[in-house]
Amino acid sequence: MRLDKFLTETGVGTRSQVKGYIKKGQVTVNGNLAKDGSVHIDENKDTVCFQNKPLSYVKERYYMLHKPMGVVCATKDNINKTVLELFDKELQKGLIIVGRLDKDTEGLLFLTTDGEFSHKLMSPKKHVEKTYYFEADGVLMEDDIKKLENGVEIGDDEPITLPAKVSHVQLMDKKVSGRLTITEGRYHQVKRMLQAVGCKVTYLKRFSIGKILLDDSLLPGEYRELSHAELEALGYIKGKDE
């Protein structure tokens, strides 16, 4: 691993900050003053110190989970099973839930040990798209779809919702299904948006966040690590300056 990458991943600072620390002689490798951040080190064997303090490298972990219905997005719950309990015990420590899904909603959820990843992905400024498949009692007419796409009031003190995308709408016997894409994460937002146009959600599943689709090989309750390519597709490179 490159020295500058190692320093950013151990929380010393951003790449530009790390470059400055090296120039100031604040980084050593095996007791020798580091001169170039591009030099490669063995993160498991070499001793790297910052301001005379040794650094330990622990690989951050990023997971995709197919959250099942009936499980809550919480670290602890006295009544319900939590998403953390779906993971092997040795993996649970330090996991952060990225965003939330309601107890009765299933689908794509990320968990990580990297707080920076969670913050950047869920930051309201990012407007990351999240797409849901829904089934509801009611009908969606063209006017209703336009309302959802332009923004609706959902009964709180916030402004109307940001513009959404509605697609794959199917109607049958006063029931409707389709896809709704939003860029916010307000409380029960999808349910409340559809309720605002007269539809009561009976089933809800999130199947994409940004460019990442729920892996259809994952059964409810199963998880796997996100690949480097998937992290890049989410626009996330740890330590990159914004």
The sign of the dihedral angle between the CA atoms of 152, 194, 148, 132 is positive
Q: Which residues are catalytic?
A: 102
> Helix/strand/coil (H, E, C) string of the chain?
CEHHHHHHHCCCCCHHHHHHHHHCCCEEECCEECCCCCCECCCCCCCEEECCEECCCCCCCEEEEEECCCCECCCCCCCCCEHHHHCCHHHHCCCEEECCCCCCCEEEEEEECCHHHHHHHHCCCCCCCEEEEEEEECCCCHHHHHHHHHCCCCCCCCCCCCCCEEEEEEEECCEEEEEEEECCCCCCHHHHHHHHCCCEEEEEEEEEECCEECCCCCCCCCEEECCHHHHHHCCCCCCCCC
Q: Are 37 and 21 in contact (CB under 8 A)?
A: no
The backbone torsions φ and ψ at residue 148, rounded to the nearest 5 degrees and listed phi first, read -60, -40
Beta bridge mates, 181? 131, 165
